[in-house]
Amino acid sequence: MLSYILRRIVATLPVMAIVALFVFSLLYIAPGDPAVVIAGDQASPEDVERIRQSLGLDRPFLVQFGSWVWRILHGDLGTSIFTNLPVSAMIGQRLGPTLSLMIVTLLLTIVVAVPLGVVAAWKAGSLIDRVIMGFAVFGFSLPVFVVGYMLAYIFALELEWLPVQGYTPLTQGFWPWLENLILPAIALGCVYIALVARITRAAMLEVLQQDYIRTAKAKGLGQGGILFIHALKNAAVPIVTVIGIGIALLIGGAVVTESVFAIPGLGRLTIDAILRRDYPVIQGIVLLFSFVYVLVNLMIDVTYTLVDPRIRY
Amino acid sequence: MSEELLRIEDLHVAFSTRRGMVEAVRGVSLNVGAGEMLGLVGESGSGKSVTGFATTRLLDAAGRVTGGKILFRGQDVTKLRGDDLRHLQGAAMSMIFQNPRAALNPIRAIGLQIADAILTHKKISKDAARAEALELLRAVQIRDPEARMNAYPHELSGGMCQRVMIAIAISCNPALLIADEPTTGLDVTTQKVVMDLLADIAAARGMATILITHDLGLAARYCRRIAVMERGRIVEEASPRTLFSTPQHAYTKRLVAASPTATSRIEDLVTEEERERYSAVVSKPRLEPAHGTPPLLEVRKLVKRFDQGSAAVADFSMTMAGGESVGLVGESGSGKSTTSRMICRLIDPSEGDIVFDGQSIGHVASRDFHRSPLRKNIQMVFQDPNESLNPRFTAFDCIAHPLMRLDGMRAGDALRKRVEECADRVGLPLDLLPRFPHQLSGGQKARVGIARAIACRPRLLVLDEPTAALDVSVQAVVLQLLDRLRRENDIALLFVSHDLNVVRMLCDRTIVLRNGGIVEQGDSRALFDNPKTDYTRKLVEAIPHIETGEVLAAAL
């Protein structure tokens, strides 16, 4: 098992290398002279030249790439053009809120979506099933910002149960931290919950038709035991896959959600960096997200082997 | 009869389908005494399994008991709910199923699966349940039970899985065990071992058993009493001896006649009207090939290795003349399917050569063989007509496809004529041609598969267990069809099967394979009547025999 995980980690290295190359090339794929692009519309030729010098854009592409990778391997993501702060420090500052939002959303999704999917599959065709699946379609079709503003209006402005906007770090207490994350997590999780509930239902329906479920019934096992012990684990592979893929969805959704709820996270930083053409920051963030995604994929693959003894690599 | 355990009175079961309610069981009455083994025999769709599932309350959601009673120890099973039902299921009454591998949860260790059953019904600790599970594995004679406790179903053979199922079923000492086709799909030798074990356990524990099977021979071997079902009704109930010597009901007569025995000939298997077309062909003398004609197929020292492992097929050589039929028999894992696929050029041999009609084809890569002009001369009929037909192709498309691919025919009247001619040759009614596979019966699908294979007028047909998924009466018709085609068109048949009775009837010669090597070969009848090796003898002895003979022919 350990050797398998090690092998998989080694196998992710080329993927990361390609991602790095792509992220670095962002600047060059964009049309025009990178230095001019960064400097913006109103820059004088002197400004452009200065930027070119400071970023080393006058050197050959591979040399630039080499030294960029070398710096990243030493933990140096470069310096923001706009704020002159180290990119790693800027990301570090914003990591907490985004990570909090994603984890709370992820937990909320699993806790809500999986049981809903299981119940829908168990009662397939019934009213409960149709209601759940109806909500799922609803969750799919509503954009995050619509749900976000609606939630904020109802629960924060009208009922005043929860704060409208903002973020409090976990260091200042669990409830203040969670309080600020509930509405954003629901808004962000809507699509995700719908997706996972649907997949859970489909995977469970498939499993519930299998002969071994009949065997479990023949043994006299109760309905709960059959659903959650015998069927859910068998249905886990597609569910885990979708939860993992959904993390990419969350990253995208976090950008919007953070804007709606004024959470000072990576999403906001990304938007700001793009608007300011702050390439070192954009590169750093994209690299981080890619890294997270590769890591999640690795975790999914490892989970497969834990869930299903037939999967061996 | 001993004390009565189960009494089914006028049971009706209906399924709601898209076309409305369909009655699967219409008025079945049965009784089973304590410790008795009753055979419930019928073909697919006869309602025998549905009766079993209704008794154990495992009917699909679509199925409902619409009438009658199932009295188990005087209590009506159909009315039980909640906890009462759970005390019944797995504790007082249990069930084992066809296809044991699918019946076990693939991702749960087998020790746990047995312990699950124990823990559901007994208030004992997990460790104690585990210890009991281990004892049960010993009881079902699984070798090295301590190690097997942590094994998963995919690591065990089909026979082993069925033993585990038996262990689960007997874990709480039920009074009644319903075995639904417990050995279908297992090798003949494994079949015998598993059934013997089941019978021993049932006898030792005084457990009543209902053996649900399509195999009359199997039921006759293990049951004192057999009930025959047809279309939801029990048509006859008698001891095996009476059933075989003087079957009363027409359906029983047909079923008994269609079950191949050690002495039956193909023409014995079907009724008068089906026989006519066949007899006309059989009576014609076969042209013996002129002396010195080169063989149609010559296989020389064929070897197949998968990965780096030991050879799946080693040093296999054979020859076949045109129009000859050769049987290839052996247990699963003996390499018979691998060999047949190499000869069909679906997989590549590791060593050796295949010569077809004087041309060496062993070295043509299997992925290029479809371009060879010889492709249409070697065709295959596959095991499961359900799985081997494209569900989106109509019967017509299925038969037309090879004609278009291999004979270069274009859609049009000529193609239509050829397809209809093929359908006619296999006895497939022309009005079925526009239908999709799911709209056809098993026998009709088998005919489509054969029509597809003979469409390009091949000279060699390789048949991989072509009747294993079919009911005996359908099997009889298909066998007759194959034999007729062979005689009419001089098609050589290479018949891969584990059913020795069928091979004996259909094949002039038989080759017995074991672990990839030839154990014995020769004239079919001589080989089976007088096996020279222990392995062949074991195979022959494992076939459930039916005492029949002339009595039966007279009965028809």
- Domain spans, chain A: 16-76, 95-307
Model confidence at A117: pLDDT above 90? yes
Residue percentage of chain A with pLDDT more than 90: 13
Q: Considering the domain boundaries, does residue B284 fall inside one?
A: no
Residue whose structure tokens are 């296989």: B299
- Measured CA to CA, the distance from residue B344 to residue B337 in angstroms comes to 10
pLDDT of residue B391: 86
Same domain, B41 and B125: yes
Residue B421, C-beta contacts closer than 8 angstroms, at least 6 positions apart: none
Give B258→chain A minimum CA distance, Å: 30
Contact B91 A220 (CB under 8 A): yes
pLDDT of residue B202: 92
Model confidence at B58: pLDDT above 60? yes
Same domain, B396 and B301: yes
What is the domain-level CATH number for residue B514? 3.40.50.300
Residue whose structure tokens are 């479920």: A213
pLDDT of residue A265: 87
Give B69→chain A minimum CA distance, Å: 20
Contact A220 B90 (CB under 8 A): yes
Q: What is the mean pLDDT of chain B?
A: 85
Contact A210 B97 (CB under 8 A): no
Residues of A with CB under 8 A from a CB of B: 210-212, 214-222, 225, 230, 233-234, 307-310
Residue whose structure tokens are 């035991």: A225
Model confidence at B40: pLDDT above 90? yes
B102 shares contact with chain A (CB less than 8 Å): yes
- One of 3.40.50.2000, 1.10.3720.10, 3.30.1600.10, 3.40.50.150 is the CATH number of A95-307, namely 1.10.3720.10
Give A1→chain B minimum CA distance, Å: 17
Model confidence at B283: pLDDT above 70? no
- Measured CA to CA, the distance from residue A45 to residue A56 in angstroms comes to 16
- Measured CA to CA, the distance from residue A155 to residue A163 in angstroms comes to 8
Question: Which class for B509: exposed (0-12), middle (13-18), buried (19 or more C-beta within 10 A)?
Answer: buried
Confidence band of B296 (pLDDT split at 50, 70, 90)? confident
pLDDT of residue B131: 92
In a 13 Å sphere around the CA of A43, the CA atoms on its Cβ side amount to 16
pLDDT of residue B460: 92
Contact A218 B89 (CB under 8 A): yes
pLDDT of residue B288: 60
Contact A216 B106 (CB under 8 A): no
Model confidence at B167: pLDDT above 80? yes
- Measured CA to CA, the distance from residue A138 to residue A206 in angstroms comes to 24
Q: Considering the domain boundaries, does residue B197 fall inside one?
A: yes
pLDDT of residue B545: 63
pLDDT of residue A108: 93
- Measured CA to CA, the distance from residue A86 to residue A81 in angstroms comes to 9
Distances from the Cα of B83 to the Cα of A213, B49, B69, B122, angstroms: 19, 25, 20, 14
| CB within 8 Å of chain A, chain B residues 460-499 | none
Q: Considering the domain boundaries, does residue B289 fall inside one?
A: no
Contact B103 A217 (CB under 8 A): no
Mean pLDDT for B116-144 is 90
* pLDDT tens per residue, range B489-512: 889 999 998 788 888 888 989 999
Which candidate from A215, A225, A230 shows the least CB-CB separation from B103? A215
pLDDT of residue A204: 93
Model confidence at B551: pLDDT above 50? no
Q: Considering the domain boundaries, does residue B556 fall inside one?
A: no
Model confidence at B253: pLDDT above 80? yes
Contact A307 B107 (CB under 8 A): yes
**Beta-strand runs (E) in B34-72:** 37-41, 63-72
Q: Please give the interface size between A and B, counted as residue pairs whose CB atoms are below 8 Å apart.
A: 72
Which stretch of A86-90, A204-208, B17-21, B207-211 has the lowest confidence by average pLDDT? B17-21
B94 lies in which domain range? 4-259
DSSP line for A185-249: HHHHHHHHHHHHHHHHHHHHHHHHTSHHHHHHHHTT--HHIIIIIIITTTTHHHHHHHHHHHHHH
Which stretch of A37-46, A170-179, B396-405 has the lowest confidence by average pLDDT? A37-46
* pLDDT tens per residue, range A239-276: 999 998 888 788 888 888 888 888 888 888 888 888 88
Q: Considering the domain boundaries, does residue B8 fall inside one?
A: yes
Confidence band of B537 (pLDDT split at 50, 70, 90)? confident
Q: CB–CB of B13/B50 below 8 Å?
A: yes
Q: What is the mean pLDDT of chain A?
A: 85
Same domain, B463 and B509: yes
| CB within 8 Å of chain A, chain B residues 140-179 | 152, 154, 165, 168-169
Residue A111, C-beta contacts closer than 8 angstroms, at least 6 positions apart: none
Which candidate from B88, B107, B120 shows the least CB-CB separation from A233? B107
The total number of structural domains in chain B stands at: 2
- Measured CA to CA, the distance from residue B251 to residue B201 in angstroms comes to 33
* pLDDT tens per residue, range B411-456: 889 999 999 988 888 888 888 898 888 888 777 888 899 899 989 8
- ipTM summary value: 0.75
pLDDT of residue B6: 92
Q: Considering the domain boundaries, does residue B553 fall inside one?
A: no
Closest chain B residue to the Cα of A125, Cα to Cα: B61
Model confidence at A313: pLDDT above 70? no
Confidence band of B282 (pLDDT split at 50, 70, 90)? low
B91 shares contact with chain A (CB less than 8 Å): yes
Contact B103 A308 (CB under 8 A): no
pLDDT of residue A105: 92
Closest chain B residue to the Cα of A215, Cα to Cα: B103
Mean pLDDT for B315-321 is 89
- Measured CA to CA, the distance from residue B470 to residue B481 in angstroms comes to 14
Distances from the Cα of B20 to the Cα of A48, A123, B232, B441, angstroms: 78, 21, 17, 20
The number of helix segments (H) and strand segments (E) in chain B equals 21, 20
